[in-house]
Amino acid sequence: MDVIREGGIGFLGSRLKRLGERMQAGAARVTADAGLPVQPAHMAFLAALDGEARTVGQLVQAIGVSQPGVTRAIGQLVDLGLVRSEQGEDQRQRTISLTPEGMAVLARARVHVWPPVEDAVRTLLGQGADAFMAQIIALETALAETPLDMLAAQSNRPVLTIREYSDDLAHHFAAINAEWINGMFHLEAADRAVLDNPRERIIDAGGTILFVEARGLGIVGTGALQPSGDGGLELTKMGVRANARGLKAGEFLLSALIKRARTMDGSPFYLLTNSRCSAAIHLYEKLGFRHDAKIMARYGARYERCDVAMRYPTP
């Protein structure tokens, strides 16, 4: 599995960085075959200094990399004897220029490295080369105007959304509930009857199943409203995957289920659970459910594990 590729457009920066590293590795081999002592990353500095001395600040602007990156590259080129760094007229700045050796390396690069590398890139891109480069320019321009973090802060797409039941989501209903039930208890016959037949046992019986979807994670939670044979409405089979903890997906889902329950016929509106599910019980209490002994007496025998029964107050 290629994690970066599977990550889609959100991993574009990492993917471009990886692509750049692969291309520079090939360009480095072309450069070495030409007998030049530099790396591909040095080429832009040599080109920027062609026929013109520049300060570090000017190189930062010309190449578009950070000042530490420029300083590091210039130090490497000085060590190679390809550029010189001299005190400028302004004592606070140094002037960087090519040495004769640097000019010779640049001339050889223009003949023996740049043309074959450009041909190779055009071969890779095919007829879309010019369009690809235009898109790169547009992306660079857009980022210069508004950095990525600012664009991300402007995103108004919700992190969590509610999705209605459909048969293609039924496997999430079964898997999410099996995960938490088996993690704390064991699946009972009453559980299997519902999880194996959600449409028949809940939807076709007049009930509802909702799912909560988290951006980047997919379906992370589900819950059902199941009519009781005596006119009641049970909140049941509600669970959230462990990887969604901290997103408040459970509270978001429960709020949606309560809102939907208000539009449905069914009284009392209740739930059955176990005292070991302390986090869930706290959430139920927070959103308005109250412990109710009558609900326990009326419905509690449905599950072996049930020792907590709660009712949502009638408006």
Q: What is the Cα–Cα distance from 150 to 166, expressed in whole angstroms?
A: 37
What stretch of H or E contains 46? Answer: helix 40-48
Q: What is the Cα–Cα distance from 296 to 294, expressed in whole angstroms?
A: 5
Q: What is the Cα–Cα distance from 147 to 149, expressed in whole angstroms?
A: 6
Q: What is the Cα–Cα distance from 308 to 302, expressed in whole angstroms?
A: 12
| Sequence letter at residue 267 | S
Q: What is the pLDDT averaged over residues 127-141?
A: 93
What stretch of H or E contains 288? Answer: none
Residue spans of beta strands (DSSP E) within 88-217? 94-98, 160-164, 208-214
pLDDT grade, residue 251 (50/70/90)? very high
Hey, where are the domains in the chain? 3-153, 160-312
Q: What is the pLDDT averaged over residues 247-256?
A: 96
DSSP one-letter string for 189-213: HHHHHHHT-HIIIIITTT-EEEEEE
Is residue 1 predicted with pLDDT exceeding 90? no
pLDDT value at position 232?
94
Is residue 265 predicted with pLDDT exceeding 90? no
Sheet holding 83-87, edge to edge: 54-55, 94-98, 83-87
Q: Model confidence over 286-312: pLDDT tens digits? A: 999 999 999 999 998 888 889 999 999
Answer for the pair 94, 103: CB distance below 8 angstroms, yes or no.
Answer: no
Q: What per-residue string of b and e applies to 27-64 under the rule 16 or more CB within 10 Å gives b?
A: bbebbeeeebebebbbbebbebbeeeebbeebbbebbe
Three-state DSSP state, 307: coil
Q: What is the pTM assigned to this prediction? A: 0.64
CATH of domain 3-153: 1.10.10.10
Q: Model confidence over 154-175: pLDDT tens digits? A: 888 889 999 999 999 999 999 9
User: What average pLDDT is seen over the chain?
Assistant: 93
Q: What are the φ/ψ torsions at residue 213 (nearest 5 degrees)? A: -115, 135
Q: What is the Cα–Cα distance from 92 to 177, expressed in whole angstroms?
A: 68
Q: What is the architecture of the domain spanning 160-312?
A: 3-Layer(aba) Sandwich (3.40)
Question: Would you call 261 exposed, middle or buried from its count of C-beta atoms within 10 A (0-12, 13-18, 19+)?
Answer: middle
**Which DSSP symbol is given to 245?**
T
Q: Model confidence over 20-38: pLDDT tens digits? A: 999 999 999 999 999 999 9
Q: What is the Cα–Cα distance from 138 to 133, expressed in whole angstroms?
A: 9
Three-state DSSP state, 38: coil
